[in-house]
Amino acid sequence: MRKRLRIDTGGELLTDAGENRLAIADFTESIRLKKDDMSAFAGRGRAKFADKNLAGSIADYSEAIRLSPRSADLYVQRGHVYIVNNQLDAAISDLTEAIRLNPSSAQAFNTRGVAYVKKGDFDRAIDDYTAAIALFPFPEIYANRGFAYEAEARSHEAIDDLQYALLHDPSLVGARDGLKRLGVPEEAVTSHTVSG
C-alpha cells in the first residue's frame, strides 16, 4: 500500500516539478498495478501534455473519460489539449459536454471561448466569456473577452474589459499591450492600474 501511495502522489509532484518523463513512468506503473485507475490515466495525460506528447495525452484523457464519463473536468482537460493540437471541433465538442455535465464551470466556458477565438467565431467566444465571467469574474477571463471584442472592432467594450483585467491583475501584460493597440496612452494605462 505504501508503494501505491508513493506512485499516485509522486506522479503529480513530479509533473509539478517539470520531471515529466519520471511522472509518466510513475503513472504507467500505477496503471500496471490497477488497470482501471482513472486518476492515473488523467495524471499521465497531464504529464504527457507537459512533455508535448499531445496524441499520448489525448489517448490517456480519453481512457480516463471512458472510466469516468461524468467528469466535467476530464472533458475540460482533454478539450484544452485538443485546442493546443488545433483540433478545434473536437475541443468544442468536449467543452460543450463539460458544460452539459457542469453548467457552473467557468473554466469550461472560458476554454470553449478560447476554441471559438481560434476558429474566428468571436461572437460565440464573447458569449462564452460572458457566461464564464457571470460564474467567476476572474481578470484573465475579462482580458480574453477584451481581446475578442478587439478582434470584432468593438473598441469601447475591449478597453473596458482590458482595463478591468489590468486593474485587478497588473501582471497581465497582454491586457496592457491590448490597451496600447487600442490607443490608450501609456500614462493612462499606468495610472489606471496604480490608482484604479
C-beta contacts of 157-164 below 8 A and 24+ residues apart: 158/182, 159/184, 163/189, 163/192, 164/139
Maximum C-alpha span of the chain? 61
| pLDDT tens digits, one per residue of 57-94 | 999 999 999 999 999 999 999 999 999 999 999 999 99
**Would the CATH topology of 70-130 be identical to that of 137-196?**
yes
Topology (CATH level 3) of domain 137-196: 1.25.40
Domains in the chain: boundaries: 1-51, 70-130, 137-196
Q: What is the Cα–Cα distance from 186 to 176, expressed in whole angstroms? A: 9
Is the confidence at residue 1, as pLDDT, over 70?
no
CATH 1.25.40.10 fits 70-130, yes or no: yes
Report residue 91 as a C-alpha cell: 475541443
| Predicted confidence (pLDDT) per residue in 13-58, tens digit | 877 778 789 889 999 999 999 999 999 999 999 999 999 999 999 9
Residue % of the chain over a pLDDT of 90: 83
Whether 153 shows a pLDDT value over 50: the answer reads yes
Q: What is the mean pLDDT of the chain?
A: 91
